[in-house]
Amino acid sequence: MTVRDRLADIEVVGLVVIGGFLGANARYGIGLLYPGLTGTFVANVTGSFVLGFVVYEAMYTDYLTDRGRLLVSTGFISSYTTYSTFAYETVAVEPLLGLLNVGASYSFGFAGVVLGRWVALRIRGGSRE
């Protein structure tokens, strides 16, 4: 492994670490504003929208660099959203509310991704003019 490769590895780790630090705190902040199921729901749905945008943007227009994507998606957004707290809260509440939580989080999360894709497509359309 060359020095160059090693530096690149350190850079990757640094970007994921910084993104993780900030993303977890952003989720924590939202959790303080909206305690319980609501905060997790808000973080997961908004995060799915942003990640949907970033992933499809990569396929369509590719403005972001690989480094930017690592920081934003793998680091920040993936840490900002969470599955463990979502699953835990789902079993901690009454069964009916738990089912509702899964249904709403899944529907709005998937819709968020599709909306993010739509925005990425619009930007591609605009950049072609």
Partner 1 sequence: MSESILLVGVGGAVGALGRYTVATIVEGDRFPLSTFLVNVVGSFLLGLVLFSDLGESVRLFVGVGVCGAFTTFSTFSVDTVRLVEDGHVWTAVVYALGNILVSVAAIGVAWFLTG
Which of 22, 27, 112 has its CA nearest to residue 75?
22
Distance of closest approach, residue 3 Cβ to partner 1, in angstroms: 21
Distance of closest approach, residue 60 Cβ to partner 1, in angstroms: 14
Say if CB 76 and CB 22 are below 8 A apart: yes
Q: Which residues contact 71 (CB under 8 A, 6 or more apart)?
A: 15, 16, 18, 19
- Per CB under 8 A, does 72 bind partner 1? no
Distance of closest approach, residue 126 Cβ to partner 1, in angstroms: 22
Residue 101 carries which side chain, given as an amino acid letter? N
- Per CB under 8 A, does 38 bind partner 1? no
Q: What angle do CA 28, 45, 108 make, to 5 degrees?
A: 150
Q: Which residues contact 106 (CB under 8 A, 6 or more apart)?
A: none
Residues 86-115 close enough to bind partner 1 by CB under 8 A = 86-88, 90-91, 102, 105-106, 109-110, 112-114
Name the one range near partner 1 by CB under 8 A: 45-53, 61-69, 120-128: 45-53
Residues near partner 1 (CB under 8 A): 12-13, 16-25, 27-28, 31, 43-44, 47-48, 50-52, 55, 73-75, 77-88, 90-91, 102, 105-106, 109-110, 112-114, 117
